[in-house]
């Protein structure tokens, strides 16, 4: 009997995942009436770095107390049914994926119930623990709190009106759904009525924007239902009869109206009371734009908080901390595709491309029809100039669902890599018609316009990206790049400074700003040197900073400093086994500098290396060796002044 019950519960769980995956494709998210897509962190395909931060409240005890895998399963199973019953399909889909991601004991279940475990490779098992406890990241010295799953509202469970309203909602007839529930007083009915009105208002707002400005135009249209929803939910909250789902919707409305402080407070109440609603956590995360704001939240130490912190750290560009949190979450959710994808995102930001590619290949093998996050995989393939891989991925998502913003961006990347920039722009515009707040598409379209030398269009695309997310350093960098192309270095410098302030550990941003200081209009070489020094300390993988530092010090007559940087650049080229004009330039300068400093042995060593080259540098090295021999013998050289210095 026990075995049969376990098998039945597992069958229910598998059914929930399949049902919710289907429903989420046709459901309406809280932000748009078009196809629902989960929020993702968008990254620039040609721009990578590794960033180090100090940890903020991330001390990790080895074994937190009070939560087992079975507890997580039971909580998620109940939450999936409750979220689905309220038409929160994105949140229920997320919960179902985490449910299936919890490891099952192969000895207790048949092979069909542990298929995902057997499909996973060693990548997903890298951080597994042998115990049954979650080894995630609550605050040090505390244990997880036990949050009871709330009981359903009895008067609404079997309400015929509620069932009718739900069918209207699923058919996207939001006002009909709200009208059916207009005289219902239960908490669940109140939530669905207000949620339906909210989505009806969002739909009308989108229609007005398209009618007035076109599918990609800007508009001052607002959701006309916000005032009435806020009035109703505020009254219920003051009376103390609001439930966690009503709090989530109330926080969402307050956020749209610009009352961010109260929205944060309300959303914290919601997640503390009902922590399994990932949509509420996502809205709360969007309101935490600084580490100080994040640390000020008074959140219960439920295990869902670990997912929230990991995601929030990533959005705050604290990628090492985010990666550490996700790796510990894998101890329990070792087979969660969501966790794997988030680990790939963090590693992408840390420029660990080989691991990112391996994780996405595994995700596609396990879940071959997955489209979520695959646009990031296409960015990796683009950066590696992998034509065949990007072509295969583009064909795959096109056959799966060509009308997803992610699919359009992947196809746009493919055409960009082929040099077909006009066609690439067409697909990025198509992605924006599906979701005009899709940040990645605006930024990538700006890059394409830069390639096409259409700087006004590039500036407009980057500005739209900045309007969506003012913390997107890639868009600020793109604006600087566009104004630099237009010969406006002061404007370019302004935008480069904004990008550097957001991402101070990115060497390429410092290099871009230094090159701006070097332009003919500015010629602020001392400031350029400061920027190159910052770049050299920020893991400048291309070693551009070292070479430019040496050149600038040489131009300013600072031969000692120039020799120091030429020597460091030479050592790096030797370590990386790189040859080229930069090495010849460094050897020539160091040979002349050492000869001038009477370090004849060093100078001779540099000249000897130059003899291996076949260009004019070989003849110069021979002349230098002759001059060195004259200097060592005590006889002056007749043409020493003609040697390059």
pLDDT by 10-residue block (mean), the chain, 645 residues? 42 46 42 35 38 36 58 94 95 96 73 57 45 40 60 61 95 96 91 96 89 73 92 95 96 95 96 97 94 94 95 91 92 92 90 90 93 93 93 95 95 95 96 92 95 94 93 92 93 95 88 94 93 91 90 93 94 89 92 90 91 88 88 60 45
DSSP string, 458-489: HHHHHHHHHHH-TT-HHHHHHHHHHHHHTT-H
**Residue 177 near residue 192 (C-beta atoms within 8 A):** yes
> What are the distances in angstroms from CA 30 to CA 22, 193, 372, 493?
18, 14, 18, 38
Query: Cβ neighbours of residue 18 under 8 Å, at least 6 residues apart?
Result: none
In this structure, are residues 191 and 249 in contact, taking their beta carbons and an 8 Å threshold? Answer: yes
SS3 annotation, 182-236:
CCCCCHHHHHHHHHHHHHHHHHHHHHHHHHHHCCCCCCCCCCCCHHHHHHHHHHH
Compute CA 492 distance to the chain's CA centroid, rounded to the nearest angstrom.
25
Residue corresponding to tokens 């070693």: 543
C-alpha to C-alpha distance for 639 and 641, rounded to whole angstroms: 5
Provide the pLDDT for residue 578.
86
In whole angstroms, what separates CA 160 from the centre of its chain? Answer: 43
Report the pLDDT value the prediction gives residue 29, as an integer from 0 to 100: 39
Closest among 334, 391, 357, 422 to 134, alpha carbons compared: 334
DSSP 8-state code for residue 111 = G
What is the token pair recorded at 151? 């009981």
Report the alpha-carbon distance of residue 256 to residue 229 in Å, rounded. Answer: 12
- Give me the pLDDT at residue 344, please: 93
Residue 115's pLDDT is what?
56
pLDDT of residue 119: 57
**Measuring CA to CA, which residue among 492, 442, 449, 511 is closest to residue 472?**
442
Q: How far apart are CA 479 and CA 491, in angstroms?
A: 9
Whole-structure pTM value: 0.77
Can you give the pLDDT at residue 178?
Answer: 96
* Concatenated DSSP letters of 563-622: HHHHHHHHHHHHHTT--SHHHHHHHHHHHHHHHHTT-HHHHHHHHHHHTT--SHHHHHHH
Q: What is the pLDDT of residue 212?
A: 78
Per-residue tokens: 543: 């070693």
Picking from 412, 432, 430, the residue whose alpha carbon sits closest to that of residue 422 is 412
Residues 89, 23 contacting (CB under 8 angstroms): yes
- The span from the CA of 453 to the CA of 263, in Å, is 43
């Amino acid at each position: 009997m026990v075995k049969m019950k376990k098998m039945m519960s597992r069958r229910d769980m598998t059914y929930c995942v399949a049902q919710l995956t289907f429903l989420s494709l046709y459901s309406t998210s809280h932000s748009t009436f078009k196809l629902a897509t989960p929020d993702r962190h968008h990254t620039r395909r040609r721009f990578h770095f590794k960033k180090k931060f100090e940890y903020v409240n991330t001390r990790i005890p080895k074994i937190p107390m009070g939560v087992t895998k079975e507890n997580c399963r039971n909580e998620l199973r109940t939450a999936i049914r409750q979220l689905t019953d309220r038409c929160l399909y994105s949140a229920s889909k997320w919960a179902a994926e985490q449910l299936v991601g919890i490891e099952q004991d192969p000895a207790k279940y048949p092979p069909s119930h542990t298929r995902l475990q057997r499909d996973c490779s060693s990548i997903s098992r890298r951080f597994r623990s042998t115990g049954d406890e979650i080894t995630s990241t609550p605050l040090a010295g505390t244990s997880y709190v036990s949050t009871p799953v709330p009981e359903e509202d009895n008067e609404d469970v079997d309400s015929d009106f509620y069932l009718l309203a739900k069918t209207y909602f699923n058919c996207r007839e939001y006002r009909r759904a709200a009208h059916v529930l207009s005289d219902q007083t239960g908490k669940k009915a109140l939530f669905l009525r207000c949620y339906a009105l909210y989505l009806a208002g969002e739909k009308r707002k989108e229609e007005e924007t398209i009618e007035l400005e076109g599918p990609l135009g800007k508009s001052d249209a607002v959701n006309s239902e916000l005032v009435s929803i806020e009035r109703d939910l505020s009254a219920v909250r003051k009376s103390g009869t609001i439930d966690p789902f009503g709090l989530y919707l109330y926080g969402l409305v307050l956020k749209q109206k610009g009352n961010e402080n109260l929205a944060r407070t309300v959303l914290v109440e919601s997640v503390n009371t009902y922590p399994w609603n990932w949509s509420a956590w996502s809205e709360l995360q969007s309101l935490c734009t600084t580490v100080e704001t994040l640390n000020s939240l008074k959140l219960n130490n439920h295990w869902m908080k670990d997912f929230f912190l990991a995601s929030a750290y990533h959005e705050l560009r604290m990628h090492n901390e985010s990666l550490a949190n996700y790796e510990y979450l894998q101890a329990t959710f070792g087979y969660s595709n969501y966790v794997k994808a988030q680990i790939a995102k963090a590693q992408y930001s840390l420029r660990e491309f080989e691991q990112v590619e391996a994780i996405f290949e595994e995700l596609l093998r396990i879940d071959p029809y997955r489209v979520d996050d695959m646009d990031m995989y296409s960015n990796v393939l683009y950066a590696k100039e992998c034509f065949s891989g990007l072509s295969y991925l583009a064909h795959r998502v096109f056959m799966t669902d060509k009308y997803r913003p992610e699919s359009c961006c992947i196809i746009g990347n493919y055409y960009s890599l082929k040099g077909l920039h006009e066609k690439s722009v067409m697909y990025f515009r198509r992605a924006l018609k599906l979701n005009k707040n899709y940040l990645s598409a605006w930024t990538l379209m700006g890059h394409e316009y830069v390639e096409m030398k259409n700087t006004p269009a590039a500036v407009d695309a980057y500005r739209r990206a900045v309007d969506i997310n003012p913390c997107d350093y890639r868009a600020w960098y793109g604006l600087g790049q566009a104004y630099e192309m237009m010969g406006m270095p002061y404007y370019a410098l302004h935008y480069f400074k904004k990008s550097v302030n957001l991402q101070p550990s990115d060497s390429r941003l410092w290099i871009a700003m230094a090159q701006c200081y070097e332009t003919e209009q500015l010629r602020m070489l001392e400031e350029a040197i400061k920027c190159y020094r910052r770049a050299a300390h920020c893991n400048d993988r291309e070693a551009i900073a070292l070479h430019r530092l040496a050149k600038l010090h040489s131009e300013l007559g600072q031969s000692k400093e120039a020799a120091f940087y030429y020597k460091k650049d030479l050592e790096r080229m030797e370590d990386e086994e790189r040859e080229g004009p930069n090495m010849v330039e460094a050897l020539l300068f160091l040979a002349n500098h050492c000869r001038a400093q009477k370090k004849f042995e060093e100078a001779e060593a540099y000249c000897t290396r130059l003899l291996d080259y076949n260009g004019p540098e070989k003849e110069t090295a021979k002349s230098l060796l002759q001059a060195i021999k004259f200097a060592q013998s005590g006889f002056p050289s007749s043409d020493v002044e003609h040697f390059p210095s």
